[in-house]
Amino acid sequence: MKTLFQLKNVRQRVRERIQQRAFTLVELLVVIAIIGVLVALLLPAVQAAREAARRMQCGNNLKQIGIAIHNYHDTNNSFPPSAVKEKLQDGGGSAQALVWSGSILPFIEQKNMFDSIVGMGFGINWADDSTNELILRTKLPAFQCPSSPDMGQTWDDGSATARHRASYGCVVTGTVGFTITSNATNGESKHHMDDGGYGHARWNGPFLMQNNTTTFGDIIDGSSNTLFVGERYRDKATNRNYIYVGTPNGQDEHARWSGSTGIQLNSLDTGTQGFAGFHSAHPSGAQFAVGDGSVRLINENVDRYIYACLGTRNGGEAVQIP
């Protein structure tokens, strides 16, 4: 009898322990709330770490582009023009052009692609030839910013092939004739170019348009004070951002301006002309390849005069990259 009584006591104590170990509904909700708070605290840190990694990769792309431009200069005794246009034999129409990023392909280990492009020529119907589709659709990570929402997307210009977008544009600078227009969209106060037209262009940047070139000797302001290539992206079909081949006058396709005080870095685009500035998907600014081979992040709130001066090669301004 005593043994049976002891066994019953043991079972009773086991039941009590099991009941004591069980979670109440309130305790469960508290645990869930704590987990939610921890996730809310950690998620921004994780996102910031990912963006830092993406920005580092973007900076490395610009570094390699800068080195390629230097190597191009060493080989050709000049920097590449923003576009190389071949004269059509019949003298009419508008030929396609090899843009600056296509010119440096041999210096980023893409000589086979360069030879294929150059061997085809750039006649007026170059982009309409479906045999060129493979080249136009080829995406090179060197020209893609991981943070850009345009990464990997194509722009369809109505021809037989769609073209991959690039994340970087060369600096051709000084366009005058723009007015400064405030834009309060989403509570922000930034500036973009007015839609009144381009005015007169002064090609006083490191890259010139249509077959014209510059050298290190032309960078009178100093290579460490002159921007060469910067980030650009627009989540719009109007921004084509060709990588290899485009139209020779297509400054909206492969070149950008910083040399006008009416063009703000990361400007909000409410008009058809907002494409001409540099833009970035990174918080607070955009990265640039500088003439000395370095890569610098410039804050979007940089003084517009300083920003404009950094885009000229021979302006004679006494400014430095902030």
| DSSP-H helix ranges across 131-210 | 133-137
Check pLDDT > 60 for residue 254.
no
pLDDT at 133: 65
Percentage above 70 pLDDT, the chain: 53
Highest mean pLDDT among 130-139, 260-269, 304-313: 304-313
| Better-predicted residue by pLDDT, 269 or 144 | 144
pLDDT at 195: 34
The chain-wide mean pLDDT, for the chain, equals 69
Contact by Cβ (8 Å): 147, 54: yes
| Better-predicted residue by pLDDT, 315 or 64 | 64
pLDDT at 10: 58
CA distance 146 to 144: 6
The band of 258, judged by pLDDT with boundaries at 50, 70 and 90, is low
| Better-predicted residue by pLDDT, 239 or 226 | 226
Degrees, nearest 5: CA angle 179-184-188? 110
Q: Which contacts of 60-64 are long-range, i.e. CB under 8 A and separated by 24 or more positions? A: 61/141, 61/142, 61/143, 61/144, 61/145, 61/167, 61/168, 62/168, 62/229, 62/231, 62/287, 62/288, 62/289, 62/295, 63/289, 63/293, 63/295, 64/108, 64/142
CA distance 298 to 230: 10
Out of 64-78, 96-110, 136-150, 238-252, which region has the weakest mean confidence (pLDDT)?
238-252
**E strand map for 93-150:** 97-99
Check pLDDT > 90 for residue 233.
no
pLDDT at 62: 93
Out of 15-19, 205-209, 292-296, which region has the weakest mean confidence (pLDDT)?
15-19
What secondary structure letter does DSSP report for 242? B
| Better-predicted residue by pLDDT, 53 or 251 | 53
Domain range list for the chain = 54-310
Check pLDDT > 60 for residue 245.
no
pLDDT digits (tens, 9 = 90+) for 131-185: 566 676 777 888 888 887 766 555 544 444 455 667 777 776 644 334 444 443 3
pLDDT at 227: 86
Check pLDDT > 60 for residue 100.
yes
pLDDT at 75: 93
pLDDT at 200: 36
The band of 42, judged by pLDDT with boundaries at 50, 70 and 90, is confident
Distances (CA, A) of 244 to 61, 127, 152, 187: 16, 11, 15, 37
pLDDT at 77: 92
Instruction: Give the pTM.
Output: 0.71
Mean pLDDT of 21-42: 82
Check pLDDT > 60 for residue 84.
yes
The band of 101, judged by pLDDT with boundaries at 50, 70 and 90, is confident
| Better-predicted residue by pLDDT, 204 or 158 | 204
| Better-predicted residue by pLDDT, 100 or 290 | 290
Amino acid in position 107: F
Which region holds residue 317: left if phi is over 0, alpha if psi is between -120 and 50, else beta?
A: beta
